[in-house]
């Protein structure tokens, strides 16, 4: 995490999780460790390439731990780090707001 961060805290948060895929990946990893294939299924219409790019970026930013097992076929697990898990309250707030908005819109 040697990148220079923006001065604005909101911008920092958006830089780390500011796209649809990262938020959905985090949502699924809040439940616990998942394999690549499980994430691909649970996140939805994400391509393998985009999932890989987002996971690498999240790993580089200290949000996700990638564990590779020396097996055939190879097995890779992804888990939120303590820093990644600390964003739980942000995602919980998004869930609460989205639920409220949906209920008003119906």
Instruction: Write out pLDDT tens, residues 11-69.
Output: 999 989 989 999 999 999 999 999 999 999 999 899 999 999 999 999 999 999 999 99
| Residues whose CB is less than 8 angstroms from the CB of residue 3 and which lie 6 or more positions away in sequence, other chains included | none
Whether a cis peptide bond, with omega within 30° of 0, leads into 94 is no
Domain parsing of the chain, residue ranges: 9-105
Residue 69 CB coordination number (10 Å): 11
pTM value > 0.95: no
Q: Specify the DSSP element, H or E, that contains 17.
A: helix 9-17
Please identify, in words, the CATH class of the domain defined by 9-105. mainly alpha
């Amino acid at each position: 995490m040697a990148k220079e961060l923006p001065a604005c805290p909101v911008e920092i948060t958006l830089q780390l999780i500011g796209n649809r895929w990262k938020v959905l990946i985090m949502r699924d990893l809040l439940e616990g460790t998942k394999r690549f294939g499980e994430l691909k299924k649970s996140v939805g219409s994400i391509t393998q390439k985009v999932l890989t790019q987002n996971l690498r970026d999240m790993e580089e930013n200290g949000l996700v731990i990638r564990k590779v097992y020396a097996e055939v076929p190879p097995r890779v697990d992804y888990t939120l780090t303590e820093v990644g898990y600390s964003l739980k309250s942000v995602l919980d707030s998004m869930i609460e707001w989205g639920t409220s908005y949906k209920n008003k819109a119906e």
